Amino acid sequence: MKKKKRENCHFNLSDRIEIESGLNSGTSVRQIAKKMNVSPSSISREITRNSTIRRGACVDKCRLYSTCHIRKVCDYKGCNNQCKSCKKYECTKLCPHFASPQDRCPSKFPVCNACPRKNYSCTFSQRFYRAKKADETATKRGTESRNGFNLTLEQFTKIDEIASPLLKKGQSPRVIVINHPELGICAKTLYRLTECGELSANQFNLRNQLKRRPRKGLRPRKMNREIVSVNKIGRRYEDYLEFIKTYSGPVAQMDTVIGKIDEGACLLTIHLPQPHFQIALILDRHTSASVVEALNKLETALGAELFSKIFPVILTDNGTEFMDIDGMEGSCIVPGGKRTKIFFCEPNHSEQKGACENNHKYIRYIIPKGTSLEPYSQCDINLVMSHINSFARDSLYGATPFAIAKATLPTDFFELIGLSEIPCDDVILTPDLLKK
């Protein structure tokens, strides 16, 4: 059975030593290739690319050097020596009979390793293949090809003018590349340009590139999943899993974002996982009464029918602010009616509503952890959420939550909650947003 040839492989030092040994013994390229089980063209390319040329002193001299006996080419009459031995003048520039040497010896050998005339008296350029030198040349070429950037000055300038302001606004390189295909680079290249200091923006504008400090050792918390309030029966997470087996409508996720621990102001967030769309309502106090009041205001703004259509089911955690189940589920417009159905995650299992938790990182980009929320109004929070929902996501294949939500939700919904779409280049995800 014929042995399959090696494909898509690089030569290493041992391979090059085998090539050099074959060339030194006068073996043809085809025979070397057959022995190494590779294509002859691979051996030819290796010899051409990584062989070295030795240009001795005789290479630049006349092709007739060995038989030349000409004298008195210059005007100096007192000299009777042969012009080819002159050290004052170059006969190659003065002699009318000068014949330039050939660049390549008309020999059957691809290189001069096995040539019987390989010495410094040869008038031709001499090419030798040395395994160690060839390996160094190939390694250096591979290293240099990965260094630097294959970009012109005009391209650098264009990338800096477009990308740097957006990076300083808190946008990620991946989203910038998606929104600006005219840059002609990938996200990895933009990361490298920023890290190497080639742009006006620096690595501190790349959120996930900075190394986080290692967390201090924490004592493991005791997880007690048996403690469930009586009024949560029928609303636990296992009940939710049974419910969605026969339910095909939307499910929202609800949580709170705390400002300073010693202050009462916080945010109530409601997240729609399908379009990644999130709204936030500011609360004066971190209490169940404030949560019910915020939901009442939201239902009043949207109307009972639209609220029940968009938020028919809400999944939340076991925080004390969500203990008033009847107040959260009951409608403030329709007496005795229900506006939504509440379910609770298991204690210490925030991943069960991970989409909502993950989206909070964008809020922390603009309002860092520990920042007081008391100076901000609902208009400020609406501005924050407008920018967050206008930020393109990889999980949406470059689309924004606003674009997806506009295709699935009523048009007047966004006007009623006070959110507006922001152009992609104007999105700001840094604390500077609330300073303007």
User: Domain holding 275: CATH number?
Assistant: 3.30.420.10
Task: Report in angstroms the alpha-carbon separations of 162 from 88, 396, 426.
Answer: 62, 23, 12
Question: How many CA atoms lie less than 13 Å away from 374 in the CB half-sphere?
Answer: 8
Cross-strand bridge partners of residue 313? 341
Chain mean position to CA 395: 15
DSSP at 207: G
- pLDDT at site 225: 40
User: Does any domain span residue 106?
Assistant: no
Q: Which amino acid is at 142?
A: G
pLDDT in tens, 316-350: 998 888 988 999 999 999 988 999 999 999 988 88
Q: Residues 136, 169: one domain?
A: no
Judged against a pLDDT cut of 90, whether residue 310 lies above it is answered with yes
Q: Residues 42, 142: one domain?
A: yes
Q: Residues 141, 175: one domain?
A: no
Q: Residues 309, 371: one domain?
A: yes
User: Does any domain span residue 35?
Assistant: yes
Between 210 and 413, where is the model more confident?
A: 413
- pLDDT at site 214: 52
Cross-strand bridge partners of residue 330? 338
User: Does any domain span residue 107?
Assistant: no
- pLDDT (mean) for 297-302: 94
User: Does any domain span residue 367?
Assistant: yes
- pLDDT (mean) for 228-247: 82
Judged against a pLDDT cut of 80, whether residue 294 lies above it is answered with yes
CB atoms within 10 A of CB 309: 15
User: Does any domain span residue 1?
Assistant: no
Q: Residues 361, 266: one domain?
A: yes
User: Does any domain span residue 373?
Assistant: yes
Q: Residues 200, 310: one domain?
A: no
DSSP at 213: P
Phi, psi dihedrals of residue 357, rounded to the nearest 5°? -60, -40
Looking at 103, 120, 147, which one is the last position of a domain?
Answer: 147
- pLDDT (mean) for 340-366: 91
pLDDT in tens, 240-265: 999 999 998 899 999 999 988 888 89
Judged against a pLDDT cut of 60, whether residue 226 lies above it is answered with no
User: In sequence order, what are the residues at sequence separation of 6 or more whose Cβ sits closer than 8 angstroms to the Cβ of residue 289?
Assistant: 324, 327
User: Does any domain span residue 229?
Assistant: no
Q: How far apart are CA 121 and CA 112, in angstroms?
A: 13
What is the residue range of 140's domain? Answer: 8-51+129-147
**Residue 340 has which token pair?**
């939504």
User: Does any domain span residue 406?
Assistant: yes
pLDDT in tens, 45-60: 999 889 887 754 444 5
Least confident of 179-188, 191-200, 328-337: 191-200
- pLDDT (mean) for 134-141: 88
In total, how many domains does the chain have? 3
Q: Which amino acid is at 240?
A: Y
Looking at 192, 208, 224, which one is the last position of a domain?
Answer: 208
Judged against a pLDDT cut of 60, whether residue 38 lies above it is answered with yes
Q: Residues 141, 162: one domain?
A: no
Q: What residue has token string 């400090």? A: 213
Least confident of 32-41, 84-93, 119-128: 119-128
Q: What residue has token string 């923006």? A: 201
Judged against a pLDDT cut of 80, whether residue 231 lies above it is answered with no
Q: Which helix (H) or strand (E) holds 280?
A: strand 277-283
Task: Report in angstroms the alpha-carbon separations of 122 from 68, 85, 105, 109, 203.
Answer: 15, 17, 9, 15, 58
Q: Residues 403, 264: one domain?
A: yes
- pLDDT (mean) for 409-433: 92
- pLDDT at site 269: 95
Q: Residues 300, 352: one domain?
A: yes
Q: How far apart are CA 3 and CA 34, in angstroms?
A: 10
- pLDDT at site 67: 77
Give the residue among 109, 137, 189, 127 at the shortest CA–CA distance from 16: 137
Give the residue among 181, 189, 137, 144 at the shortest CA–CA distance from 162: 181
Judged against a pLDDT cut of 50, whether residue 234 lies above it is answered with yes
User: In sequence order, what are the residues at sequence separation of 6 or more whose Cβ sits closer than 8 angstroms to the Cβ of residue 371?
Assistant: 259, 260, 431
Q: Which amino acid is at 30?
A: R
Q: Residues 305, 183: one domain?
A: no
Q: Residues 404, 386: one domain?
A: yes
Q: Residues 140, 186: one domain?
A: no
**Residue 80 has which token pair?**
């009777």
What rounded mean pLDDT belongs to the chain?
84
Q: How far apart are CA 76 and CA 158, in angstroms?
A: 63
